[in-house]
Amino acid sequence: MKRILVVLSLCMVLAAGSVMAKEWKKVRIGVEGAYPPFSFVEPNGELAGFDIEIAKALGAAMGAEVTLVAQDWDGIIPALLAKKYDAIIASMSITEERKQKVDFSKKYYQTPAKFVCKKGAMATFSREAMKGKSVGVQRATIHDKYLTDNYGTDVDIKRYGTQDEAYLDIVAGRVDMLLADSVALSDGFLKKPEGKDYQFIGPDLNDQKWFGDGAGIAIRKEDKDLGELFTKAIDTIRANGTYKKIQDKYFDFDVYGE
Amino acid sequence: MDFAIIASNIDIYLEGLKNTLILVSISLIFGLVMAIPLAVLRTSGNLYVQAPIRAFVYFFRGTPLLVQMFLVYYGFGQFEAMRESVLWPLFREAYFCALFTFALNTCAYTTEIIRGSIVATPHGEIEAARAAGMSTFLMLRRIVLPSAFRRALPAYSNEIIFMLHGSSLASVITIIDITGAARIVNSRYYSPWEAFLTAAVFYMAITFTIVFFVRKLEKLWQRHLMPLEQLDTKIEAPSI
């Protein structure tokens, strides 16, 4: 028994050593694929969007070969912990809850959250006006948490697996409002033909308690070195103009925030 | 592992339990009530009566429940005409969509189960009923259906359990059933193990309850087939 223990602990030391020494020549990155314009699937089946291009650019800056793995949002952190991939680049906001499970690089963009409702449906934005309304939100997001904590007793919260499903349901009249990232809402919904009857309502929401410090790249806690590599790579592509080139393809303003 | 998060979120699970039980029981009741006449008609000789029932059963048995639910929930909502029809207030609700799909789905399977056991009625029973001068309806009511139900019970108890497990798909269309509750808890704490294990325990408890009651019913309906020593009450030999 003792010998087995010794062998086992030796193995563990060796394993830990090899993790430490691991060079990141190949990085598998978990992405979502249903969050336009950050991440979506093109008609030809290819993944595209801001997150996707940032992932590729960061890989290039790090000198690593990037493999993208599409994963539903619900399971995106558990799958990282289960080593299905090594990092998440999926517009994931850096929050305290998530920091208990994973580590983050520095942010790679930061945009506020906002509500959307049908044009003319609400004269003013207030808690009273929202009473009894149903609000669609993507499950397990900072928006879900914000809504649950702040309006949980006043509104009927409908939680969706993807943002796309929430868009379908507001058009079908099943929910009165949506809460999501303002850029995702604007580019993924409001600017599209099916979103023409809808508008933003209420203020920009960016309370740090819920909305965190912007979107970062999530990695397992034991891979701190990978997190640093990503942070460095973000600085690199910010400095050499790659970031700006990518963002100009998707947005007409600076998504990096202050 | 941290089951304290389950204890502090038990309300969500209880709400989920309620929704699962309502969804499953209502769709089972509607499914069964519709399946009985359909099964009888399906065994009738008339091809024009049979054909639409065959088509219905074929569609619902031939496609996954999840696909059916997406068709009803997202698919119907795509059509302007549907969104403006009088039915929309019903189909607008995720709950109704789930009930509608589940009821039709279980109805299709149940129709086939009952049809099978009607077809398997021993010829002797039918001949005896005919010889006693029973009308077709009376024969159905007194002989064919009771005997068919008896034979269908084991297969139908499986259908009940499949329906219970299938109902977990309701969580996909925003309904908070047991699985939906587990997904909320999982998404809040990123603890899939605790969240889904709790859901599994809930489903298992319901399944065992169902199995328990079906056993009781089987005992009641199949008394005449049981060995004497297994009966609870002794049958006295008639005194001469």
* Mean confidence (pLDDT) of chain A: 88
Please list, residue by residue across A238-250, b when 16 or more beta carbons sit within 10 angstroms of its beta carbon and e when fewer do. Answer: eeeebbeebbeeb
* Mean confidence (pLDDT) of chain B: 91
Q: Would you call A168 an interface residue with chain B, using a CB distance cutoff of 8 Å? A: yes
In percent, how much of chain B has pLDDT > 70?
95
Give A30-78 pLDDT, tens digit per residue. 999 888 899 999 989 899 999 999 999 999 999 999 999 999 888 899 8
Do the bridges between strand A103-109 and strand A215-219 make them parallel or antiparallel, or are there none, so unpaired? Answer: antiparallel
In a domain, residue B28? The reply is yes
Mutate: best of A95, A143, A174, A175, partner B, most B CBs <10 A? A174
Do the bridges between strand A47-48 and strand A40-41 make them parallel or antiparallel, or are there none, so unpaired? Answer: antiparallel
**pLDDT score, position A108:** 94
| Cβ(B99)–Cβ(B26) below 8 Å | yes
In a domain, residue B21? The reply is yes
CA of B180, closest CA in chain A: separation in Å? Answer: 9
Tell me whether residues A174 and B188 touch, CB distance under 8 A: no
**pLDDT score, position A17:** 46
Tell me whether residues A75 and B192 touch, CB distance under 8 A: yes
Give B161-206 pLDDT, tens digit per residue. 999 999 999 999 989 999 999 998 888 887 889 999 999 999 999 9
* Tokens, residue B61: 């048995």
**pLDDT score, position A65:** 94
List beta partners, residue A201: A115
Q: What is the DSSP string of A143-196?
A: HHHHHHHHHTTTSEEEEESSHHHHHHHHHTTS-SEEEEEHHHHIIIIITSGGGT
Helix, strand, coil: what percent of chain B each, to 5? Answer: 80, 0, 20
Residues from B contacting A (CB-CB < 8 Å) are: 74, 77, 83, 88, 92-94, 172, 174, 183-184, 186-190, 192
In percent, how much of chain B has pLDDT > 90?
71
Q: How far are the Cα atoms of A89, A225, B26, B115, B118 from residue B42, in angstroms, in the given order? A: 55, 68, 24, 7, 10
Mutate: best of B172, B174, B189, partner A, most A CBs <10 A? B174
Q: Is the pLDDT of residue B239 over 90?
A: no
In a domain, residue B240? The reply is no
Q: Minimal Cα distance from B79: which residue of A?
A: A172
Count Cα atoms within 13 angstroms, Cβ side, for B69: 22
How many helices (H) and strands (E) chain B has is answered by 13, 0
We report the CATH number of the domain holding residue B73 as 1.10.3720.10
Tell me whether residues A159 and B174 touch, CB distance under 8 A: yes
Spatial CB neighbours of A254, under 8 Å, sequence gap ≥ 6:
A247
**pLDDT score, position B54:** 95
**pLDDT score, position A22:** 64
The architecture of the domain spanning A113-211 is 3-Layer(aba) Sandwich (3.40)
In percent, how much of chain A has pLDDT > 90?
63
In a domain, residue B68? The reply is yes
In a domain, residue B106? The reply is yes
**pLDDT score, position A94:** 93
Q: Which residues of A touch B188 (CB under 8 A)?
A: 97, 140, 145
Domain that holds residue B184: 4-230
Give A248-258 pLDDT, tens digit per residue. 998 888 888 87
Q: In this predicted model, which residue has the larger pLDDT, A102 or B231? A: A102
CATH class of A24-110+213-250: alpha beta
Average pLDDT on B8-30 reads 95
Residue of A74, A165, A171 lying closest to B183 (CB–CB): A74
The complex's ipTM works out to 0.71
**pLDDT score, position B234:** 61
At residue A141, φ and ψ (nearest 5 deg) are -105, 170
In a domain, residue B235? The reply is no
Give B84-118 pLDDT, tens digit per residue. 888 888 998 899 999 999 999 999 999 999 999 99
| Confidence at A7, pLDDT banded by 50, 70, 90 | low
CA distance B91 to A34: 25
Sign of CA dihedral A206, A210, A212, A214: negative
How many helices (H) and strands (E) chain A has is answered by 11, 12
Q: Would you call A98 an interface residue with chain B, using a CB distance cutoff of 8 Å? A: yes
Average pLDDT on B210-228 reads 87
List beta partners, residue A136: A158, A178
By mean pLDDT, which of B3-7, B39-43, B57-61, B128-132 is the weakest?
B3-7
Check if A24-110+213-250 and A113-211 are the same fold.
Answer: yes
CA of B15, closest CA in chain A: separation in Å? Answer: 14
Residue of B77, B83, B187 lying closest to A140 (CB–CB): B187
Q: Is the pLDDT of residue B232 over 80?
A: no
Question: To which H or E segment does residue A117 belong?
Answer: strand A113-118
Tell me whether residues A98 and B77 touch, CB distance under 8 A: no
Q: In this predicted model, which residue has the larger pLDDT, B45 or A95? A: A95
Give A176-233 pLDDT, tens digit per residue. 999 999 988 998 899 999 899 999 999 999 888 888 889 999 999 999 999 999 999 9
* Spans of all domains in chain A: 24-110+213-250, 113-211
Q: Would you call A172 an interface residue with chain B, using a CB distance cutoff of 8 Å? A: yes
* Number of domains forming the structure of chain B: 1
Q: Minimal Cα distance from B74: which residue of A?
A: A168
| Confidence at B20, pLDDT banded by 50, 70, 90 | very high
List beta partners, residue A70: A31
| Confidence at A21, pLDDT banded by 50, 70, 90 | very low
Q: Which residues of A touch B93 (CB under 8 A)?
A: 174
CA distance B190 to A13: 28
CA of B86, closest CA in chain A: separation in Å? Answer: 14
**pLDDT score, position A69:** 93
Residue of B83, B190, B192 lying closest to A172 (CB–CB): B83
Residue of B74, B94, B187 lying closest to A74 (CB–CB): B187
